[in-house]
């Protein structure tokens, strides 16, 4: 079983979500599909695909205009939430500490956090990839985790760029993350790869050791393509 998780970002519509759910009805696959959609679509009840959010507040409640708490996400039926996506780290200055608080709130409310880590091109060029992702895993994962969490390795320079790291680079990064998680007593935690995944490369990527699934951006907005990715993840 591989995870195939779509991240719609600030795209899509209720109509597209309904079309996607229709298309997903005939899927014959053991893979677990999830769609992380904008907050306003999370209440679309269906028996085909689990829905998740793309962000959550670090706070439980209170005077935080515009924010959405984990208990509100749970109430509307969200089963997953992406935390620390590179776009949140980049445009909203989210640090590992903030990401850890968000993941903690999710777990407290029975929601599985999908914790994103990944290096920028500058960090990659400076040879810092493994230091960055090791620190991000250590600092972004809550202490005392008892329920499932998911880690997504997303090299920031490859997101939305149509390019992916080499198979060897993905394998090395995932091994470093798996070793870090094992050191933290969290072996077995699913580790997904994300950035420029499509139906043409997903088979090769999911065949790499320690790749337990994929986080898909752009290609998750095209129903036929997303269904094909779910079928092709092996
Ligand atoms: P992409 O996005 O698949 O469009 O590269 C991945 C992501 O941002 O999660």
pLDDT tens for each residue of 105-128: 999 999 999 999 999 999 999 999
Give the active site residues: 85, 154
CA 104 / ligand 1 centre spacing (Å): 24
Predicted confidence (pLDDT) per residue in 57-70, tens digit:
999 999 999 999 99
b/e per residue 30-60 (b: at least 16 CB within 10 A): ebbbbbbbbeebbebebeebbbbbbbbbbee
Of 64 and 146, the structure prediction assigns the larger pLDDT to: 64
Please state the atom number of ligand 1 nearest to the C-alpha of residue 161: 5
Please state the atom number of ligand 1 nearest to the C-alpha of residue 195: 5
Predicted confidence (pLDDT) per residue in 158-195, tens digit:
999 999 999 999 999 999 999 999 999 999 999 999 99
Do the beta carbons of residue 79 and residue 71 sit within 8 Å? no
Q: Look at residues 166, 114, 172 and name the one whose alpha carbon lies nearest to residue 140.
A: 114
- Mean pLDDT over all residues of the chain? 97
Report all structural domains of the chain as residue ranges with CATH numbers, in order of start.
3-232 (3.20.20.70)
Query: Would you put residue 156 in left (φ > 0), alpha (ψ -120 to 50) or beta?
Result: alpha
CA 61 / ligand 1 centre spacing (Å): 30
Other residues' Cβ atoms within 10 Å of the Cβ of residue 220: 29
In this structure, which residue's CA is closest to atom 2 in ligand 1?
Answer: 217
C-alpha triplet 81, 83, 89: angle, nearest 5°: 150
Mean pLDDT over 89-105 rounds to 98
Q: What is the number of H-type helices and E-type strands within the chain?
A: 9, 8
Q: Quick check: CB of 189 below 6 Å from ligand 1?
A: no
Q: Whole-prediction pTM value?
A: 0.97
């Amino acid at each position: 079983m591989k995870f195939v998780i779509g991240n719609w970002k600030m795209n899509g519509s209720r109509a597209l979500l309904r079309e996607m759910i229709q298309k997903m009805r005939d899927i014959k696959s053991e893979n677990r599909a999830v769609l992380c959609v904008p907050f306003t679509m999370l209440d679309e009840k269906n028996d085909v695909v689990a829905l998740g959010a793309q962000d959550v507040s670090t706070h439980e409640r209170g005077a935080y205009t515009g924010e959405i708490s984990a208990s509100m996400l749970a109430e509307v039926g969200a089963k997953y939430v992406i935390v620390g996506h590179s776009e949140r780290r980049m445009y909203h200055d989210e640090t590992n500490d903030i990401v850890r608080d968000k993941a903690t709130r999710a777990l407290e409310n029975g929601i599985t956090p999908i914790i994103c880590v990944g290096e920028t091109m500058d960090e990659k060029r400076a040879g810092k990839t493994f230091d960055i992702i090791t620190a991000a895993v250590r600092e972004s994962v809550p202490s005392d985790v008892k329920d499932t969490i998911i880690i997504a390795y997303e090299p920031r320079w490859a997101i939305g760029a149509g390019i992916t790291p080499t198979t060897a680079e993905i394998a090395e990064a995932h091994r470093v993350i798996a070793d870090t998680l094992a050191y933290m007593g969290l072996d077995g935690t699913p580790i997904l790869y994300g950035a420029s995944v499509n139906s043409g490369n997903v088979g090769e990527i999911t065949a790499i050791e320690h790749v337990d699934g994929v986080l898909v951006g752009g290609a998750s907005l095209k129903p036929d393509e997303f269904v094909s990715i779910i079928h092709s993840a092996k």
